[in-house]
Amino acid sequence: MESSSSFLPQISPHSFFPQKPSKWRNTTSHSTRIKCQKMYVPGFGEASPEAKAAKHLHDFFTYVAVRIVDAQLESYNFEGHAELQEFLEKHPLNDGDKFCADLMRESSRHKALALRILEVRSAYCKNDFEWDNLKRLASQMVEDRNTRLMRDYVSETILPTENES
Amino acid sequence: MESSSSFLPQISPHSFFPQKPSKWRNTTSHSTRIKCQKMYVPGFGEASPEAKAAKHLHDFFTYVAVRIVDAQLESYNFEGHAELQEFLEKHPLNDGDKFCADLMRESSRHKALALRILEVRSAYCKNDFEWDNLKRLASQMVEDRNTRLMRDYVSETILPTENES
């Protein structure tokens, strides 16, 4: 099974950042420099952090599509449901494209299932996935967790001193 | 190390979807039913697919923040850079919050590094991460990969027949 280090690119302690870091990178013209300064993010090579995150969302959409299709089959096509379950037992879903490619080649019935999964992941990504909600939840999580981490640390370190006094 | 199955919730072949699936769920009033019908996604319990994806983006932002801070330190504070590198050798970055909590408790110098990482991940999430670009890249990837999977399958299955004729 693929480890989550693929989402978090491999960190080698001795070659953590092969590129020469420069603190800022500008992405637009001189006239709008102040607004467009961004922190330099090393270690993604030719890709970007957004591309890395997109790849993993893509696999996530395949996983969601498989669950959607399987739940639909369960309600009216028990044979198809059983076949998909059996296939899932033997094929990991970590690499969504490989899973679909393998499913397509298993049999003609499996091919129909695979085509449906492709269709569903496209529709889910385009219509159902709540992108604004993702942004809101992730931003809120960063703020909440930052606050909690600092509060926990302060509780641990300040309270004993107060008790002693 | 945490496996990526945490991003793709555990699939037990025998209890794949504990909930009774219903094909559609409505999220708004009857008058707008057609526009707001969404495919039923089982298996996320009280959470949502968006919340699951947000949790993993949150860990990703911590990873990015560590890289940003480390690259900045490398250019003007070699001691801090070396300390962070040494800490990274012993502590996995898969759980971003645990990493920051441990870093905070290592020493007062490490605590300062941790606070900076918290600050940077908040700023990165709010200002630098290109959310629109993430949506564009992920949507494009789904379409491209769907096309490629079908084209590859057709190439494999149709061409031999053509060659035979």
- The beta-carbon neighbor of B50 closest among A6, A8, A130 is A130
Sign of the torsion angle spanned by Cα atoms B44, B49, B54, B57? positive
The pLDDT of residue A35 is 56
Per-residue pLDDT of B37-62, as tens digits, reads 888 888 887 789 999 999 989 999 99
| Per-residue model confidence (pLDDT) at position A47 | 85
Per CB-CB distance under 8 Å, the chain A contacts of B7 are 4, 7, 56, 59-60
B131 at interface of A, judged by CB pairs closer than 8 A: yes
Of the candidates B94, B141, B149, the beta carbon closest to that of A55 is on B141
Confidence of residue A21 (pLDDT cuts 50, 70, 90): very low
Cβ distance of A7 and B4 shorter than 8 Å: yes
* Alpha-carbon dihedral angle through residues A37, A51, A44, A146, given to the nearest 10 degrees: 60
How far is B40 from A64, CA to CA, in rounded Å? 10
Q: Which of A23, A56, A149 faces B97 most closely, judged by CB atoms?
A: A149
pLDDT of residue A162: 55
Evaluate if residue A24 carries a pLDDT over 90. Answer: no
Choose from B1, B50, B116 for mutation: most chain A CBs within 10 A.
Answer: B50
Q: Provide the terminal-to-terminal Cα distance of chain B, rounded to the nearest Å.
A: 53
Mean pLDDT of A48-69: 95
- Note the pLDDT of residue A160: 59
Question: A3 and chain B: CB distance < 8 Å anywhere?
Answer: yes
Do A49 and B129 contact (CB within 8 A), yes or no? yes
Quote the pLDDT of residue B35. Answer: 56
Q: Do B75 and A40 touch (CB under 8 A)?
A: no
Structure tokens at B110: 């490490």
pLDDT in tens, B63-116: 999 999 999 999 999 999 999 999 999 999 999 999 999 999 999 999 999 999
Model confidence over A95-154: pLDDT tens digits?
A: 999 999 999 999 999 999 999 999 999 999 999 999 999 999 999 999 999 999 999 999
Residues B57, A138: C-beta atoms closer than 8 Å: yes
